Amino acid sequence: MNAAAMPQPSHQRSRGRLELDYHLHEGRTVLGGLYQSPPMRALFPDPEADEAPICALVNTAGGLAGGDRVEIALSLGAGARASFSTPAAEKIYRSLGPATEISVTLEAGPGAVFEWIPQETILFEGARLERRLNADIAEDATLLMAEALVFGRAARGETWRRGALQDSWRIQRGSKLLWAEGLSLGEDIAADFADPFGFANAEALGSLVLAGPLAQPDLRNALREAGALASLVRPGLLVTRWLGGAVAVREGLGAAICRLRPALGLPARLPRLWTT
């Protein structure tokens, strides 16, 4: 058989899913339901005395490749409070064609306090990522959400200039759209990063969103005093951005989380998952 006519190999791909819900029982936040399929797994380290229950989201494969698909659905019932993070950065490996797909759904019931602060996602050279995040929170719920993208492996001197990125966020409050944004890269990534009015050769992009009644001018001003570019873009929505070196973005994002956590009734420090 002609080599060109030979069928192309079909690679096995991950189809992971994690579903988890917490609810309030006798004044305590407890686990209500859990479903997990590889490579996704939830771990529950003992929280410190002044912390809310914390869930560590683990990718047992160590990273995601082109064609892998992961779905995460997390829910907090009325009055529940919990933190969700990762024990390490997520790695998106070089793709041979198809994109890596990540879908995240967050729900917070009345009076719930939801903290979504995974560590950074690293795009290897050649990575193709399609990521969607949808959050639906009650009118009086609070959502603190932080994400960081690192464009290449900075420690190896690698830059991400080949691949594709489709990243979209949607936040609803009381079933009404509160915030929508999207980032699309792929036509000419090198030009986008070289543009001084674009990414200006930044190594990383960080985003932090505080949605809910706690998003007030005093917290915006506290972040600005710490050097962050914070904006109260509409009532009940505080948005902050970082663009620059990978270490500087991580440090800035971590410092802002620490600034905001006391308003949520949490200690002014990062969870141990970020620091150990």
What is the tens place of the pLDDT at every residue in 120-139? 999 999 999 999 999 999 99
Band (155; pLDDT cuts 50, 70, 90): confident
Q: In this model, does residue 18 exceed pLDDT 90?
A: yes
Q: In this model, does residue 17 exceed pLDDT 70?
A: yes
Cα angle 100-104-109, degrees, rounded to a multiple of 5: 180
What pLDDT, on the 0 to 100 scale, is given for residue 131? 97
* Percent of the chain scoring above 70 in pLDDT: 96
Q: In this model, does residue 143 exceed pLDDT 70?
A: yes
Domain residues of the chain, as ranges? 13-275
pLDDT per position as a tens digit, 62-75:
899 999 999 999 99
Cα angle 162-163-169, degrees, rounded to a multiple of 5: 130
Q: How many CB atoms lie within 10 A of CB 241?
A: 15
C-alpha to C-alpha distance for 6 and 65, rounded to whole angstroms: 24
Band (276; pLDDT cuts 50, 70, 90): confident
Tokens 């990762």 -> residue = 86
The model carries a pTM of 0.93
Tokens 């990575």 -> residue = 127
What pLDDT, on the 0 to 100 scale, is given for residue 275? 84
pLDDT per position as a tens digit, 37-58:
999 999 999 999 899 999 999 9
Band (94; pLDDT cuts 50, 70, 90): very high
What pLDDT, on the 0 to 100 scale, is given for residue 3? 54
- The interaxial angle of helices 246-260 and 217-225, nearest 10 deg, is 140
Q: In this model, does residue 199 exceed pLDDT 90?
A: yes
Average pLDDT over residues 147-152: 96
